[in-house]
């Protein structure tokens, strides 16, 4: 049972345009969501997060939108740059209880930004 899904394995975008990466989840108990970026031969690095009490969080060129009723979140990158080419993972977790920060990850989306 995959609780976090990224249904697009890859996305190709022209430099300067918007990149939109999507993520769906099934568990309504998740109360925070994160995006990680991964370059080849490196570990994932944290990009941006959002709490379930918000519907938008922005950090520079990166904006995450959360639609709780649809159990859907998206990451917008504007404008896209060639250096943004990487694998992007969506992750979800619980804020309390015995969660201890354990995350459930999606399969990842490979973003390629063409010059």
Partner 1 sequence: NAGVTQTPKFRILKIGQSMTLQCTQDMNHNYMYWYRQDPGMGLKLIYYSVGAGITDKGEVPNGYNVSRSTTEDFPLRLELAAPSQTSVYFCASSYSDRGNSPLHFGNGTRLTVT
Binding residues for partner 1 (CB under 8 A): 4, 9, 31-32, 34, 36, 41-46, 49, 51, 89, 91, 93, 95, 99-108
Locus of tokens 């108990």: 29
Choose between 98 and 115: whose C-beta lies nearer to partner 1.
98
Q: In 27-68, at which residue ranges do the beta strands (DSSP E only) sit?
A: 32-38, 45-51, 56-59, 62-67
Tokens of 107: 């399969």
Choose between 79 and 105: whose C-beta lies nearer to partner 1.
105
Choose between 35 and 80: whose C-beta lies nearer to partner 1.
35
Shortest gap between Cβ of 28 and partner 1 (angstroms)? 16
What is the distance between the alpha carbons of residues 58 and 65, in angstroms, rounded to a whole number? 9
Shortest gap between Cβ of 17 and partner 1 (angstroms)? 26
- Report how far apart, in Å, the C-alpha atoms of 56 and of each of 60, 83, 100 are: 13, 24, 25
Shortest gap between Cβ of 113 and partner 1 (angstroms)? 21
């Amino acid at each position: 049972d995959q609780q976090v899904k990224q249904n697009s394995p890859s996305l190709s975008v022209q430099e300067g345009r918007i990149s939109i990466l999507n993520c769906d989840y099934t568990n309504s108990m998740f109360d925070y969501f994160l995006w990680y970026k991964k370059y080849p031969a490196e570990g994932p690095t944290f990009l941006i997060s959002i709490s379930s009490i918000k519907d938008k969080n922005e950090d520079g060129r990166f904006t995450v939108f959360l639609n709780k009723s649809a159990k859907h979140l998206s990451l917008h990158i504007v404008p896209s740059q060639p250096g943004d080419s990487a694998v992007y993972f969506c992750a979800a977790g619980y804020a309390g209880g015995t969660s201890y920060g354990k995350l459930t990850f999606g399969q990842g989306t490979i973003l390629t930004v063409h010059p």
